[in-house]
Chain A
């Protein structure tokens, strides 16, 4: 083992270890959410994951970004195979370990290079859409300093990684060619670049090493950057889609604790099941209705928050947002993530989501500690009440995030725990209670519609 191998081994252990450490904290954050049984239906869930996560099904609602994204995504998958080779080479001091694959290796390397070049093109297009064309959905009050820097940062890192790859391949190729040595693999893009590289053998060897190290260290840095970034979706999209809802979108969750109460009210003989008990056998404190803070949401809602790409498709399709209201489903999701990290673990090495208010670009009202919860502390009732529950946000999210569920949970808290519904809704509630209709009509008028229809029958009924 050379000193280079040992250094590589150390770097790799630190890189992956750090990532595991961050991932554990994120897992802990997600698990503060309420329990929800998501087991079963494995076949249907896998199929969904295959279609939506692997197959990018929902991306194809918008063809331009879908194609660009597809290039980067496939590039990422294929380049990962080369990363395996790099790790093996690094640990065992081999050179291009996978070359025993023969023709397959040729294809692999060639695909890799072509995709690498296409990724650079796609990244430039992405950068242009964000910074020059300024596609509308990339802006908005919740897109504060960090989310914007983050989005561009990823693009820059991707370019650096691809450039490192080409430096490594081209110098390696030229080094072999100059000595009339056979070089395993086939390199359609690097062969074109040979001319711009120096002819000094030592320098070429140095460049090859530099490219190799830059590529792998870059990937490890990128890996550890992910948990602070919207780019974490490249991992979280898969579990998130797997655990997405399988019921019709219009079906809102049932609150079982309320069902027991209502049944007991309607039927005095109804036996309310014993309240859940803690591990020590004592009854647990009853949970509140709806959600005030992150731990009142289901763990799937929290998983959502770590899968969000901040792409803004939800907000762009939201009727409330389109017509200038404060509500932005993306903001609800981002707030949930920021709140988790503020209250629980900040799993990250640096904490971009927690930078002072100055970095957030908006002035915030100072809030009392006990008021600093997800609801009110970050999400205002005004946002929540603007939602028409139309499901456009749910439909448009490419990774099956459901902002609507969180919105309804917070509305439930406002109504059931705080009785803080807007006045006109309270009027509607009492109409339903008293007249059985949301409007103030008398139940006895319910049959008036039939008046012109069959007067005779109607008289018979009312008689």
Chain B
């Protein structure tokens, strides 16, 4: 961004990478995939690079309001310094914080999550996969991120994006507003879980695997949703070329990947972010 500013130029959008997008080895791939899509459609974008710093989301959710506001004010100063108007991010936590919590501190921006952004690109015909590319017919289930779904009511955009892949989309029993957390929100990512009988990410991964495998009896045991008002139960079928758990959040990515590893299912189940799916369907492999 500093470069653009030095050249006196303004980007159309600022891509907010987020700490996970910048530092987490797995999520860096998502960052690159998303950047390739941006390049592919020829949008003029910028990133803050080393001037970006944590939005303060984990601090705020852990109760450290003071640290949160310090971070927020610093970021607002940076963003306002470059006169940023429009921000796109792949992290629902960054998205929620900048969109909903920065205005009270004087930071007002148009903030878009990458699922909505990709949906717009698809609607405008800038990205589109004729025939679904390599994902055609593969079984995919989408795991709702709490900070996208319940926190901000975005349920359809990621599903619309997945629909363009022409894959075999299945819904977990707990999905959309009933979705189960991956277990990492509210600063859980940085601490050990309290004593219990299971980790949240294992519970959620099991549900995803049962869904992908079409294991209806096991799904029926799933607690937290009564009366079977959830999505249709998939029928058992071989997962040609492996099944996919689609996510749209770096925390969900980590938690679901760990879950799949824990269940020793890496050989036939992969976890991908929406941006990666679209990028590889477009042949922009990251």
Q: Which residues of A contact B (CB under 8 A)?
A: 61-65, 135-136, 247-252, 254-255, 258-259, 261-263, 265-266, 289-290, 316-317, 319-320, 322-327, 382, 385-392, 394-396, 408, 410-416, 421-422, 424-425, 427-429, 432-433, 436-439, 441, 443-450, 452-453, 460-461
A392 in contact with B146 (CB, 8 Å): yes
Stretch in contact with the other chain, from B131-139, B174-182, B269-277: B174-182
B54 in contact with A437 (CB, 8 Å): yes
B203 in contact with A389 (CB, 8 Å): no
A396, closest chain B residue (CB) = B178
B195 within 8 A of A: yes
Sorted nearest first, the 7 A-B pairs with minimum C-beta distance are A250-B151, A411-B63, A436-B53, A389-B186, A324-B197, A324-B196, A390-B181
Distance A324 CA – B199 CA, assembled complex (angstroms): 9
6 A-B pairs whose Cβ atoms sit less than 8 Å apart in the complex: A319-B200, A322-B224, A325-B195, A389-B61, A413-B63, A432-B58
B220 within 8 A of A: no
Distance A416 CA – B67 CA, assembled complex (angstroms): 10
**One of B96, B150, B188 near A395 (C-beta < 8 A):** B150
B70 in contact with A290 (CB, 8 Å): no
Report chain B residues within 8 Å CB of A452.
32
Most buried by B among A290, A324, A410: A324
Main SS class of interface, A: helix
Decide: A461 near B49, CB < 8 A? Known: A395-B150, A416-B65. yes
Q: Which residues of B contact A (CB under 8 A)?
A: 3, 17, 19, 21-24, 28, 31-32, 35-36, 49-50, 52-54, 56, 58-67, 69-71, 73, 77, 96, 100-101, 104-105, 146-147, 150-153, 177-181, 183-200, 202-204, 223-227, 229
Report chain A residues within 8 Å CB of B180.
319, 322, 392
Distance A447 CA – B63 CA, assembled complex (angstroms): 29
A323 in contact with B200 (CB, 8 Å): yes
Report chain A residues within 8 Å CB of B181.
319, 388, 390, 392
Report chain A residues within 8 Å CB of B35.
450, 453
Report chain A residues within 8 Å CB of B184.
388
In whole Å, how far is B253's beta carbon from the nearest beta carbon of chain A?
Answer: 14
Decide: A62 near B227, CB < 8 A? Known: A250-B147, A388-B146. yes
A443 in contact with B50 (CB, 8 Å): yes
Known pairs A266-B77, A460-B3; list 4 more (Cβ under 8 Å): A251-B101, A386-B196, A392-B179, A425-B190
Most buried by B among A266, A391, A408, A449: A449
A428 in contact with B50 (CB, 8 Å): no
A318, closest chain B residue (CB) = B224
**One of A64, A317, A382 near B224 (C-beta < 8 A):** A317
Report chain A residues within 8 Å CB of B31.
449
Report chain B residues within 8 Å CB of A390.
146, 150, 181, 185-186
In whole Å, how far is B200's beta carbon from the nearest beta carbon of chain A?
Answer: 5
**One of B22, B50, B200, B229 near A61 (C-beta < 8 A):** B229
A261 in contact with B66 (CB, 8 Å): yes
A265, closest chain B residue (CB) = B70
Most buried by B among A136, A319, A394: A319
Report chain A residues within 8 Å CB of B59.
428-429, 432
Distance A452 CA – B190 CA, assembled complex (angstroms): 28
B56 in contact with A432 (CB, 8 Å): yes
Distance A395 CA – B96 CA, assembled complex (angstroms): 17
B69 in contact with A259 (CB, 8 Å): yes
A448 in contact with B183 (CB, 8 Å): no
Decide: A252 near B61, CB < 8 A? Known: A62-B229, A389-B185, A391-B151. yes
Report chain A residues within 8 Å CB of B49.
446-447, 461
Decide: A258 near B190, CB < 8 A? Known: A62-B229, A320-B196. no
A413, closest chain B residue (CB) = B63
In whole Å, how far is A315's beta carbon from the nearest beta carbon of chain B?
Answer: 10
Report chain B residues within 8 Å CB of A290.
63
B204, closest chain A residue (CB) = A319
Report chain A residues within 8 Å CB of B54.
432, 436-438
**One of B64, B73, B188 near A429 (C-beta < 8 A):** B64
B223 in contact with A322 (CB, 8 Å): yes
B197, closest chain A residue (CB) = A324
In whole Å, how far is B67's beta carbon from the nearest beta carbon of chain A?
Answer: 6
B69 in contact with A258 (CB, 8 Å): yes
Distance A413 CA – B66 CA, assembled complex (angstroms): 12
A250 in contact with B96 (CB, 8 Å): yes
Most buried by A among B56, B100, B179, B188: B188
**One of A65, A410, A424, A449 near B21 (C-beta < 8 A):** A449
A411 in contact with B151 (CB, 8 Å): no
B23, closest chain A residue (CB) = A441
Distance A385 CA – B63 CA, assembled complex (angstroms): 10
Distance A257 CA – B250 CA, assembled complex (angstroms): 32
**One of B192, B225, B227 near A424 (C-beta < 8 A):** B192
A395 in contact with B101 (CB, 8 Å): no
A382, closest chain B residue (CB) = B194
Distance A445 CA – B58 CA, assembled complex (angstroms): 20
**One of A261, A415, A424, A437 near B63 (C-beta < 8 A):** A415
Report chain B residues within 8 Å CB of A63.
227, 229
In whole Å, how far is B260's beta carbon from the nearest beta carbon of chain A?
Answer: 17
Report chain A residues within 8 Å CB of B100.
247-248, 250-251
Decide: A449 near B17, CB < 8 A? Known: A388-B200, A395-B150. yes
Distance A382 CA – B193 CA, assembled complex (angstroms): 10
Decide: A414 near B63, CB < 8 A? Known: A323-B199, A390-B146, A437-B54. yes
In whole Å, how far is B212's beta carbon from the nearest beta carbon of chain A?
Answer: 20
B198 in contact with A324 (CB, 8 Å): yes
In whole Å, how far is A395's beta carbon from the nearest beta carbon of chain B?
Answer: 5
A266 in contact with B73 (CB, 8 Å): yes
In whole Å, how far is A22's beta carbon from the nearest beta carbon of chain B?
Answer: 34
Report chain A residues within 8 Å CB of B23.
437, 439, 441, 445-446, 448
B203 in contact with A248 (CB, 8 Å): no
Distance A421 CA – B65 CA, assembled complex (angstroms): 13
B63 in contact with A386 (CB, 8 Å): no
In whole Å, how far is B283's beta carbon from the nearest beta carbon of chain A?
Answer: 16
**One of A247, A251, A421, A447 near B22 (C-beta < 8 A):** A447
Report chain A residues within 8 Å CB of B224.
316-317, 322, 392
Distance A263 CA – B66 CA, assembled complex (angstroms): 11
**One of B21, B64, B185, B225 near A388 (C-beta < 8 A):** B185
Distance A410 CA – B63 CA, assembled complex (angstroms): 8
Report chain B residues within 8 Å CB of A460.
3
In whole Å, how far is B100's beta carbon from the nearest beta carbon of chain A?
Answer: 4
